Amino acid sequence: MKNIDPKTPIWRLTVEEFLEVSKKINSEKKYEYGLKGLAKMLGCSISKASEIKSSGLLDDAIIQKGNIIIIDKEKALALFAQK
């Protein structure tokens, strides 16, 4: 990827440059946080997300320390699809 000046207006980017920048932005968010994030990721209610988390189905994709929950999105979706 060639270096693009962050101050360059979007309208001056080529389609190729715009797509490269878009990929970088989209690939940065690899994790969701909390039951709210899990619910958003699965498209369900928070109570259903809590139920799914408690079932152990996504244990390999979830890191929990106290009340803090971190979910690896790719891993969770792969596990969810398997079951």
Residue 39 has pLDDT above 90, yes or no: yes
Amino acid 27: pLDDT: 59
Is residue 57 classed as helix, strand or coil in its secondary structure? coil
Average of per-residue pLDDT values in the chain: 89
Residue 46 to residues 3, 38, 50, 66, 74: CA-CA distances in angstroms?
41, 8, 6, 18, 19
Greatest pairwise CA separation for the chain in angstroms: 50
pLDDT at residue number 28: 60
**pTM for the predicted model, two decimal places:** 0.64
